[in-house]
Structure 1
């Protein structure tokens, strides 16, 4: 018998450190009017702000060229933790949103080529402009160029999904101007569930830029900031979740300079109802928060929120990884009916269930998965197996109705 002893086991995980998720890998496309940047370069990649500064993206260069490039990258890493992978693609300042997403345009091809080269690594795409021409104030909230580009951007996203590279996009809603908020374009009518439009910025930071002599900062929206927030959270987390704390701004503006705190509740509700992504403040609570995570799709569309897109896109990537391994493998069919055998069905169902449960459900990104494979499939004739995968996403407490009253225990 061994001597009496005290056994000590060293446990791991108590400090709460996390391995950086690949779900937040992002591409930031920025237009500039400058020879200081290599347009269309594929070499701008990093995992922290200093990586980009060493590649020539600096605060001083932003000022000297009167553009916001370093600014958007800095904003990204304000909320995305160091270690989050970011790619930057620089395009000419003459590029419009519509041109960027028009098939056969040189910048469309540059973006498509970049995403192709990275396979399915890029999950989030943000687009910010530094236009070379003076901007006319829109009459419908956002520019006619951006309004026209939204469905084109969705077509681009659809094409990427078809090529097994699902992405979600944030577009910069520059110089947001409308006679009334009710006159602003209703983004919920645009049938573009993979697209969101960011129209806010940190007013205090913009005032600093102006004070430093940066005249090109008048109309920007903080796309890099919103992109960094998304990149730094799990796919099922709402960008505006209050429990995560205020975002650190002290004076939220819309992109034409309107102070959010001076807008009426009716105005803010109208913007939210119309699917704009912006930063707001809750009565009785300090700090600023994103309003929600809307996309440019109607509320009866399953993908009217960014969280739903990110969850289904992650499930799509997992399904692709699981089932591409089964291509051209032999499958058994029932000797009497010619239908898929019970063993084949169970094998295909268990493979995706295990992957989704391990990579999503066990870490709280979805609540359940159900897989159905109809055995009555003539795989001997058509070599095709149809598989239905149903993911149950998280619900969200968007509205809390509280009933409150005084009572007298003596009555």
Structure 2
């Protein structure tokens, strides 16, 4: 085993009852190549609709879904937002994108992840197969998405462990039949790096029939907000899209609460407010999982990246030991201090972690060496790193009534 770092995510600790590098995402899309401009299985970096035009991706039959996704993403995230794109043949299924090659063990998606050199913090899909594809729907949507969900989780886990570049994936509930009672309950699963979106900005049986979901709007909202913010945060205002549907029914006429209660992400409205919002950022895992929500996932993943950046500088570094063969406390304090300072500067100072207002020295992060380990014999440094998350006003209870003695 090569000298390196092993960062494990602890879980069960919470008791859960502005474009930046944090919002650099990847799009995986069914597409048709454009001669001399746009090739399949090739990574591209886009920063606006001008780049889309330069690739020859237009609003035609071949790349209709891809073009719509890109235009909606930049409308929500803003021109100048960095997005990585890889197109795949329309004969591919979504699960194919996440399937390991028998010979190399590498998935097609890794071509995009590797090209971005660890920058991508999330992947989104835009599936639009050719006319020969017939989805098999036995649990509310295309069965292939269930396969893709499992493979996407495995890839994310493995890539995080080997490349130290954590990410999550949002899939579409492709070919959703419109009946929420048919849907599997995602809250019984353990896919804390995968979410499933239901809903689109146009009717399924519109001018062009599409069976996917508009993950572009969710991606755009996340790309334009900080890691600790829920995509459903009302104070950030309504989404850019002016219409939203579940199959052919307007979102406001559909029981989106039932979708939410099964762990799906969708559109919603708020009484007295114009426009559409995201329901919440649920991932396909248990509700009490520390990483059940996208904002929890994004926050801990950012801390992971910062911690790795600091710790990787210590690989094969030599340091002093105590008379018992343990880590010298001065060295431990130096490394843990640099780790805490980096996270505090890049996260706490930006409002991405919580601090105790009663303690002026609280940084919202704590790194502690195991000073009892015999490093002389194991050559292993053990560090426990903890960060304090934000809380979220998911439910608000107000008791309203009359009282003539308000000043007493």
TM-score computed with the length of structure 2 as normaliser: 0.86
Q: 2:3 maps to which residue?
A: none
CA RMSD of aligned residues (A): 2.2
Q: How far does residue 108 in structure 1 lie from its aligned partner after superposition?
A: 5.9
Q: Distance in 1 between matches of 2:105 and 2:52?
A: 22
Q: How far does residue 97 in structure 1 lie from its aligned partner after superposition?
A: 2.1
Aligned pair partner of 1:333 in 321, 337, 344: 321
Aligned pair partner of 2:268 in 280, 287, 290: 280
Q: 2:109 maps to which residue?
A: 111
Q: Secondary structure at the match of 1:45?
A: strand
More displaced stretch, 92-101 vs 32-41 = 32-41
The total of aligned residue pairs comes to 376
Cα distance, 1:158–1:333 mapped onto 2, change above 3 Å: same
Q: Distance in 2 between matches of 1:70 and 1:164?
A: 32
Q: How far does residue 248 in structure 1 lie from its aligned partner after superposition?
A: 3.2
Q: Distance in 2 between matches of 1:145 and 1:331?
A: 52
Q: Distance in 1 between matches of 2:31 and 2:120?
A: 22
Q: 1:147 maps to which residue?
A: 146
Structure-to-structure mapping, 1:1-400, within 5 angstroms: 20-33=19-32, 37-42=38-43, 44-59=44-59, 63-65=60-62, 67-104=64-101, 109-132=107-130, 133-136=132-135, 138-162=137-161, 163-179=163-179, 181-203=180-202, 210-211=206-207, 215=208, 217-254=209-246, 256-263=247-254, 267-335=255-323, 337-367=324-354, 368-400=364-396
TM-score computed with the length of structure 1 as normaliser: 0.86
Q: How far does residue 270 in structure 1 lie from its aligned partner after superposition?
A: 1.9
Q: How far does residue 80 in structure 1 lie from its aligned partner after superposition?
A: 1.1
Runs of 5+ consecutive residues of structure 2 not aligned to the other structure:
1-17, 355-363
Q: Distance in 1 between matches of 2:45 and 2:275?
A: 32
Query: Larger radius of gyration, structure 1 or 2?
Result: 1
Q: Secondary structure at the match of 2:345?
A: helix
Q: Distance in 1 between matches of 2:328 and 2:378?
A: 16
* TM-superposition CA deviations, 1:13-64 (whole Å, max 9, x none): xxxxx6x41111111010125666411122x2121121121121222xxx24
- Structure having the higher helix fraction is 1
Q: How far does residue 85 in structure 1 lie from its aligned partner after superposition?
A: 0.8
Contact 2:251 2:268 in 1 (8 A): yes
Q: Distance in 2 between matches of 1:402 and 1:186?
A: 31
Contact 1:142 1:177 in 2 (8 A): yes
Runs of 5+ consecutive residues of structure 1 not aligned to the other structure:
1-17
